[in-house]
Amino acid sequence: MAPVGRIDAGGGPLRRGRHRLLGPLATGLGYYLGAVLGVAASSMSEGIAIFWLPNGILLAALLLAPRRDWPPYLLAAVAAEIAADLPTFTLAQALGFAAVNLFECLLAAWLLQRVARPFTLDRLRHVALFGLVLVLASGLAAVLGASIYSLSIPTTTSFWDFWIIWWLGDAMGVLLVTPLVLGWLQQGPSRELERRHFLEAAALVALTLLLTIWVFSQLATDSFPKRPFLLFPLPLWAAVRFGVRGAASVALLIAAIVITATLNDMGPLLAAAPADTVLLLQEYLAVLAFSSLALAALLQELRATYDKLDRLNHELEVRVEARTRELQQVNQRLEELASVDPLTGASNRRHFLEQARAEISRAKRQGLPLSVIMLDIDFFKSINDRYGHESGDQVLVALAATIHATLRGGDIFARMGGEEFIVMLPGQGLQEAMQMAERLRLLIAQNEVPGCPARITVSAGVAGLEHASEDIVDLLRRADRGLYRAKHQGRNQVCAEQGPSPDALADA
């Protein structure tokens, strides 16, 4: 057994340990970079932060990691917070800010996992819960953060101004970063984006850059106002075409340009007081980001529902098709049972009469010959009486097999009842039918049936279609008369019965 901590073929404890270590390290690095950006690039006069990205990174990490792995992520966040804050704030303030941020992220992660597990942003319900939890957690954390500002930093800004700016700043950071991280890490790489929509994605990014820079490059002295609402179609386009990850990516891109422009006193959202500018900017970005995120989740949920219904419909079609085939097979089997004699495999009397009428009608229309052979087993009753009905059935089966093997594909063979059989020969005249009947008689006489030592012979009557006025009843009647004559003359022979002459029919 390999000792704990060593590498094994399946990527064992050491590999899992590396994974658990890389996650917190990556989160700490992201937290630090986000904090540096929040403290330096995204701060205005009096230390007012426009948005706070680190909490969005930490919250995404907590939502992706099991709860048992949370402590390393929290320690990495504390270290990153202290490293980023020390150039600007005291150690006590940095520890206080770290405690507030950890409280906010832990509360948000715990609530989201309690109400939705697993938590994903591809459902509108989860997006709504995300917004509510975000408002609650960042609002409570803002009370603590505003208290640290008010008690430790000399300023003329009121507690409630600090509170609302902290509240919206943390909410904005989480709203812009957490959906982006979850969208890419939970769903994995998008082949659809790579193969089908790469050009569209590139066009969307380029248009977002150009239009956002154009709208927020104006100065207060510009005569032509550029309205910020012109940017709203861009994240909505991303939401429709690329889902949550597309909407979050475009929203973050817009936010970066907008904040950079506002920090340089450019754009249509500048107000007289810095605090008013921050609030106006935060509200604008919050509406833009959340609306596109909600639309993306709604569309993804609708697509998932449609795909599920499509799969169910396909499964239903497959089941209906399979059931239809089963019913067709059952119906075919029922038709066979209704038209075939179960013992010999020959057609039964009803099915033969249906086929015979059709063949006679065709022969009359096309002027073709047609004949019938009626066969009857000689002394069949004595065979049943001497050797039993099972032996009699074996005789019937052997006779039917001999006839089946001799006939052509278009010939019709049926059991009329008991030991009597009928053969219809479309396209063959009386002489050909006589030859066929004689061949069948000889072949049957050569059969040796197991369980029946008696020699099996048949008598046969043959009749051919001679006049257009004849039907199947007339043809069978004459064949039956020929059979009767063969029986009367000593059995084991073939006799033909011809119809009346045309003159006799005319006189009649």
- Strand order from edge to edge, sheet including 458-464: 412-417, 420-426, 370-377, 458-464, 494-496
Query: Tokens 């701060």 identify what position?
Result: 43
Cα separation, 377 vs 416, whole angstroms: 12
Q: SS3 of 149, please?
A: helix
Cα separation, 271 vs 269, whole angstroms: 6
Cα separation, 268 vs 196, whole angstroms: 36
Parallel, antiparallel, or unpaired for β 458-464 and 494-496? Answer: parallel
Determine contact, residues 46/155, Cβ cutoff 8 Å: yes
Phi-psi region of 118 (alpha: psi -120 to 50; beta: other; left: phi over 0): beta
- For helices 274-339 and 159-187, what crossing angle results, to 10°? 30
Phi, psi of 86 (to 5 degrees): -60, -35
Q: Is the dihedral of CA 402, 407, 413, 419 positive or negative?
A: negative
List the alpha helices (DSSP H) in 65-90.
70-85
From first CA to last CA, the distance across the chain in angstroms is: 110
Cα separation, 147 vs 164, whole angstroms: 12
81, 104, 359, 419: the catalytic one is: 419
Question: Known catalytic residue: 420?
Answer: no
Cα separation, 139 vs 108, whole angstroms: 11
Tally DSSP H helices, then E strands, for the chain.
16, 5
Q: Which of 484, 476, 378, 467 lies closest to 424, judged by CA?
A: 476
Determine contact, residues 270/262, Cβ cutoff 8 Å: yes
**Residues in Cβ contact with 195 at an 8 Å cutoff, skipping those fewer than 6 apart:** none
Q: SS3 of 364, please?
A: helix
Catalytic positions: 419
